[in-house]
Amino acid sequence: MSTQTTHAAGRRSHGKGRTPARGRRWAVALLLIVGLGAVLAAAVLPTLKDAARELTLPLHHEDIIRQQAREKNLPADLIAGVIYAESKFSDQTSHAGARGLMQITPATAHAIATRTGGSAFQESDLSDPEVNIRYGTWYLRNLMDRYDGDIVYTLAAYNAGQGNVEKWVAAAKADGGRLTVSSIPFAETREYIQRVLDARADYRAHYAKALGL
């Protein structure tokens, strides 16, 4: 065999020897990339989940909600559920003139202010989360007392007014029954009650610590 042939064979032999080493380096690099990806995913995914939840199930002013829940002896998750159903925690005014997080009408707010000694109350105060939640929870507590703690009656009255609920209750009694969600004539009110109850369950499941539950 010639020297040239021997050198060529040697080069081929060296090339074959390098292939497993190169493969191992690629394997190590791939494992490092996969590991880094897993670390980043572990760090980022919780943040993404929190951001998504903030969009679909927002919660703000939880300190005020906890305070008013204690003062009014109301479940904090119920308060959060009502706020979600009313405004999704966004300060707004409805076409009927209801304002703020708990969508309180000026007439109702003035009546609450009179009964609670809020002599300095102004309608613009309903944009203040603390005032709005304080008045809204006062009204919820008042309705709960009026209807002996019945959540369905309370939420129906919060949405459709006490006058309508009194008529529905009377009609149900006349038929020998009791007012239920399914027997409420207003579709909007039936949907509202279910929306509050669903949101209440979600807030209890996802924000128990924040709400002091």
The set of catalytic residues is: 86
Instruction: Please list the residues that pair with 104 across neighbouring strands.
Output: 99
Rg (CA), the chain: 31
Exposed / middle / buried, residue 105 (Cβ in 10 Å: 0-12, 13-18, 19+): middle
Q: What does the alpha-carbon distance between residue 192 and residue 84 come to, in Å, rounded to a whole number? A: 11
Which of 169, 163, 161, 168 is CA-nearest to residue 185?
168
